[in-house]
Amino acid sequence: MATAILKQVFEIELTRTRDPEILEKQDLIYDIGNGEFDHHQLEKEYRDNGTPYAACGLIWRKFGKQAILSKHPEVSENEVEIIFRYVDTVLVEGIDAADNGIRTTENIIPTMCISSIIGGYNLHGIPRVSGCSI
């Protein structure tokens, strides 16, 4: 997901490696390397509600608003903030929690899945049987 966010903002070429010589030549490193976007450290960063950031959330926190504006330059600053916080709450935080080993079913952390995405497109008032729309 971090890569998808970055692709909305930058024209990127993804390199997967742990080779220090290759890493030194990269413009941005995430999820490894003890850098700004690596959550595999003893000193993790946490949201105000206690959920730890993972690479996805760290990337979203820094570049999410730019990603929103890249797709919708017409939205106001206030609308960008609302969208940014909503996406963080309903999508990114769940990804971060799972990536940090938090069982989201045992906590009150929204976790986006394909069923909830599809369910979001269902009209209200349509009968549902066993969690499926008909």
Residue with the bigger pLDDT between 81 and 134: it is: 81
**pLDDT of res. 80:** 95
Is the pLDDT at 19 greater than 90, yes or no?
Answer: no
CA dist., res. 108 & res. 110, Å (int): 6
pLDDT for 126 equals 45
Give the pLDDT score at 104: 60
pLDDT in tens, 31-79: 776 677 776 677 888 999 888 999 899 999 999 999 999 999 999 999 9
**For residues 15-20, average pLDDT:** 84
Place of tokens 């490894």: 32
Decide if 56 contacts 96 (C-beta within 8 A). Answer: yes
User: Residue 107: is its pLDDT beyond 90?
Assistant: no
Residue showing tokens 């700004």: 36
pLDDT at residue 12, as a whole number: 85
Burial class (CB in 10 A: 0-12, 13-18, 19+), 67: buried
C-beta neighbour count of 40 within 10 angstroms:
13
CA distance 30 to 15: 11
Q: How many CB atoms lie within 10 A of CB 114?
A: 7
pLDDT at 127 over 50: no
Provide the token pair at 56.
Answer: 């996805």
30, with CB counted inside 10 A (0-12, 13-18, 19+), is buried
SS3 of residue 88 by DSSP:
helix
